[in-house]
Amino acid sequence: MEKRTFKNKVYQQLANIVKAMSNPHRLEILELLAQGQFSVAEIAEETDITGANASQHLQVLKQAQLVETQRDGNRVYYQLAGLSVYKAWKALRDLGIERIAEIERVMQQFRESRQSLETLTSEELAEKMQNEETTVIDVRPQQEFDEGHIAGALNIPVEELSEKIEELPKNQEVVAYCRGPFCVFADDAVELLREKGFNAKRLDEGYPEWMIEELPIEQS
């Protein structure tokens, strides 16, 4: 094989991966699948697109070998093809936050408007948890919590928080987390907690980042 042919073939395959990721809906789907397995209908509901569109996006991701399927009876579930897929998505996200000022500006404006600007890093939260200085709540749906969560976290899905808020101690800082920095569940939770008089913050990232940093996790 000629050197130019070799290079052309390799770069074309890499370009196919980048092309598969070059869509906002597909990027959101990859972030969702980092939480666990989902059916097409669940993906469509979570990303606010039609089932047909979700299926088309998933086929593109599957052809690029970024996702794979698993059958459970008559239902087909999608999942990331491997942890390296999430790491690639995270690297793209972090590059965007670092190099594109508009992303950081939008994030800051959103959190300022929701009174949820104050955040903790994973390292800061891990230290506080060791010293038993904080209560951690996972505000994702139970399905995602069961797939894996921060060790010691309580699962209170954001839509149930107003009903269960009295279960939380007011003499401790409460830290909420969800799917990652673009997920708004934790922002909703922090806003509600602060309205009720809690000292509340959000984790600046989410469960997948905590996991790949090899911090303590639990799975149901």
Q: Residue 25 and residue 2: Cα distance in Å, rounded?
A: 38
Which ranges constitute the DSSP H helices of 80-171? Answer: 83-99, 101-113, 122-130, 142-147, 161-164
- Residue reference for tokens 């869509």: 23
Tell me the pLDDT of the chain averaged across its residues.
94
Catalytic residue among 175, 178, 183, 200: 178
Q: Is 178 a catalytic residue?
A: yes
DSSP 3-state of 147: helix
- Could you read off the pLDDT of 90-116 as tens digits, one per residue? 999 999 999 999 998 888 888 777 665
Q: Residue 133: its pLDDT value, please?
A: 82
Domains and CATH numbers, the chain: 3-85 (1.10.10.10), 115-218 (3.40.250.10)
Judge whether residue 155 has pLDDT over 60: yes
Share of the chain above pLDDT 90, in %: 86
Counting residues of the chain whose pLDDT is more than 70, the rounded percentage is 98
Which tokens in the block code for residue 60? 């593109």
pLDDT number for residue 205: 94
What's 159's DSSP letter?
G
Residue 196 CB neighbour total at 10 angstroms: 13
